[in-house]
């Protein structure tokens, strides 16, 4: 009951600060964020929101995103939805306003919304956003099934509960056996088609009967093409459906459109997409294995060092289908444990900032409040409240991630594969999802070693190279620095605003920085 009251109190504190129920157009949440569609962005009180104890930060995008952290957001969102509904039901009838006032208000809201969207409205980033929207809803199931798979593997190795392990295997594998259907459903939904038709076409890929079909001189295999084939099949189904809607008479639409959509898309999928997507999927797996087997240390160094900048640019979303393909093929993705080292470098950098600025209680307070989330793989509070506003510590955090990634990559090169059975978590939260080819103990030890290397490298790089003399002089004071200070000392210059919990100035993340799955 106390927890429920706490979650409701958090929701009640957030609602008036986003303009009340009348200003909320849509409500959703991902692993760490409450995502709100708002009618008028100018009604939001950013500073008051960031000052709330439960709020780790806010992010601008096509939706207004309030970072609450894993677990918390799933409990606060239903309370928030209920409060919005209650406030709308209790609201009095709207008071009429003059046409001029309404037009002016609408123009103001539209201008603000357009300004925010323009920063991330490049065609490539919009496409990546759609891809992320297809796969992100699948993450909870991937995590749950991944943890069950790990538990089952442990019980099998220990030869415990032999009567239970087959049931656990079924629970862990059932979702993965049908993941193509879920991808097809979400793809059609995201691209503007009928979701169930996208799922129906994608289901062809996993249907056992395709083993009786010959295409390109070879017999198809159930699941051939995997999630990439399902993605392509569902996109094709959307375009076929839209074509049918334009040309099929309304009286026949309910019969003809679904039939033609499944028929045309299904034939192309069976006699084309499954083969092509299967070749691409195999190439992805082969290349990932080759990369880490032959250049693991170097590849890990580059991947671990560049992941935070990729997140800042929104380009990390391109990796989501690759992770999912590797999990589908091999049972785990070897890339995620390496990329997770970026978060370790971020934690190490934040700890160095804490010790280098002993007089700046504002920044130290931000670090203390955000560090537990950072250890669990939620990096946004440390990034936007500490390292990025200061400038150099963001770069040295990337250095820490590079060394951690190089450590994990080196062991992959030596034959000790370290992978994750699901995407989403990182940091310490990734331990229950680890898997590899040399036993769980070895896998955990390598990953833990990578985290330690990332922490230490990020700390040392930041402590010794993260501050210029001017930057250290300006920030190692008891009062909060002004935004102009950051610009004058080589940090972020424009579009700055106070960080979460009264911390330092954080940039307006105009490059869609927080689309990542929960861990960076």
Which residue among the candidates 30, 145, 244, 398 is catalytic per the annotation? 30
Maximum Cα interatomic distance, the chain, rounded to a whole number of Å: 76
Give one DSSP letter per residue of 15-45, joined into a string.
HHHTT-GGGEEEEEE-SSEEEEEES-GGG--
358-408, pLDDT tens digit by residue?
A: 988 888 888 888 898 889 888 878 887 788 888 899 999 999 999 999 999
Quick one: pLDDT at residue 324?
93
Domains of the chain (ranges, CATH numbers): 2-118 (3.30.1360.60), 133-288 (no CATH), 305-507 (no CATH)
Percent of the chain with pLDDT over 70: 85
**Is the confidence at residue 430, as pLDDT, over 50?**
yes
The DSSP bridge pattern shows strands 434-436 and 214-215 to be unpaired
- What tokens were used for 472? 């250290």
Quick one: pLDDT at residue 201?
97
Cα separation, 3 vs 293, in Å, equals: 48
**Is the confidence at residue 506, as pLDDT, over 80?**
no
267-300, pLDDT tens digit by residue?
A: 999 999 999 999 999 999 999 999 998 988 999 9
Report phi then psi at 93, rounded to 5: -60, 140
Cα separation, 168 vs 146, in Å, equals: 11
Quick one: pLDDT at residue 488?
39
Average pLDDT, the chain: 83
- What tokens were used for 263? 């028929």
Residue reference for tokens 């442990």: 154
Evaluate whether 292 touches 418 at the Cβ level (below 8 Å).
no
Cα separation, 412 vs 287, in Å, equals: 14
Order of all β-strands in the sheet with 24-29: 24-29, 33-38, 64-67, 57-60
166-199, pLDDT tens digit by residue?
A: 999 999 999 999 999 999 999 999 999 999 999 9
pTM: 0.75
- Catalytic, 30? Answer yes
Quick one: pLDDT at residue 4?
67
Evaluate whether 440 touches 330 at the Cβ level (below 8 Å).
no
Residue 160 binned pLDDT confidence (cut-offs 50, 70, 90): very high
- What tokens were used for 97? 């306003």
What distance, in Å, lies between the first and last C-alpha atoms of the chain?
A: 33
Cα separation, 227 vs 170, in Å, equals: 20
Other residues' Cβ atoms within 10 Å of the Cβ of residue 309: 16
Evaluate whether 435 touches 331 at the Cβ level (below 8 Å).
yes
Cα separation, 323 vs 433, in Å, equals: 14
211-268, pLDDT tens digit by residue?
A: 999 887 788 999 999 999 999 999 999 999 999 999 998 889 999 999 999 999 999 9
């Amino acid at each position: 009951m106390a927890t429920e009251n706490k979650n409701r109190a958090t929701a009640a504190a957030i609602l008036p600060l986003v303009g009340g129920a009348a200003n909320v157009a849509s409500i959703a949440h991902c692993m760490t964020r409450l995502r709100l569609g708002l009618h008028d962005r100018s009604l939001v009180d950013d500073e008051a929101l960031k000052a709330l104890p439960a709020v780790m930060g806010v992010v601008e995008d096509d939706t207004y995103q309030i970072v609450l952290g894993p677990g918390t957001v799933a409990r606060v969102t239903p309370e928030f939805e209920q409060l919005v509904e209650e406030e709308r039901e209790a609201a009095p009838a709207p008071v009429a306003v003059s046409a001029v006032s309404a037009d002016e208000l609408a123009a103001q809201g539209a201008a603000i919304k357009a300004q925010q969207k323009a920063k991330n409205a490049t065609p490539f980033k919009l496409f990546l956003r759609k891809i992320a929207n297809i796969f992100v809803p699948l993450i909870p199931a991937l995590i749950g099934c991944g943890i069950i798979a790990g538990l089952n593997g442990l019980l099998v190795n220990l030869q415990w509960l032999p009567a239970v392990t087959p049931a656990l295997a079924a629970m862990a594998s059932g979702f993965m056996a049908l993941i193509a259907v879920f991808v097809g459903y979400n793809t059609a939904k995201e691209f503007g088609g009928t979701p169930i038709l996208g799922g129906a076409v994608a289901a062809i890929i996993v249907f056992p009967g395709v083993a009786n079909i010959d295409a390109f001189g070879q017999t198809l295999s159930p699941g051939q093409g995997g999630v990439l084939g399902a993605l392509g099949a569902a996109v094709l189904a959307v375009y076929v459906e839209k074509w049918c809607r334009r040309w099929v008479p309304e009286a026949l639409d309910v019969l003809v459109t679904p039939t033609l959509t499944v028929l045309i898309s299904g034939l192309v999928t069976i006699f084309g997409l499954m083969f092509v997507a299967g070749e691409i999927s195999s190439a992805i797996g082969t290349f990932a294995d080759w990369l880490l087997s032959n250049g693991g240390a170097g590849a890990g160094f580059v991947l671990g060092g560049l992941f935070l900048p990729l997140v800042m640019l929104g380009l990390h979303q391109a990796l989501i289908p690759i992770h999912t393909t590797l999990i589908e093929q091999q049972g785990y993705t070897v890339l995620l444990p390496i990329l997770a080292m970026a978060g370790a470098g971020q934690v190490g950098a934040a700890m160095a900032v804490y010790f280098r600025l002993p007089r700046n209680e504002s920044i130290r307070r931000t670090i203390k409040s955000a560090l537990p989330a950072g250890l669990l793989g939620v990096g946004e509070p440390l990034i936007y409240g500490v390292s990025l506003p200061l400038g150099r510590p963001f770069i040295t955090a990337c250095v820490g991630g590079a060394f951690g990634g190089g450590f994990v990559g080196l062991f992959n090169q030596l034959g000790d594969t370290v992978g994750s059975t699901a995407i989403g978590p990182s940091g310490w939260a990734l331990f229950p999802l680890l898997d590899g080819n040399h036993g769980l103990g070895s896998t955990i030890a390598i990953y833990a070693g990578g985290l330690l290397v990332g922490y230490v490298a990020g700390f040392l790089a930041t402590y010794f190279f993260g501050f210029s003399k001017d930057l250290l002089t300006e920030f190692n004071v008891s009062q909060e620095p002004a935004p102009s200070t950051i610009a004058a000392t080589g940090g972020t210059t424009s579009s700055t605003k106070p960080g979460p919990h009264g911390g330092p100035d954080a940039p307006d993340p105009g490059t869609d920085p927080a689309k990542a799955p929960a861990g960076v």
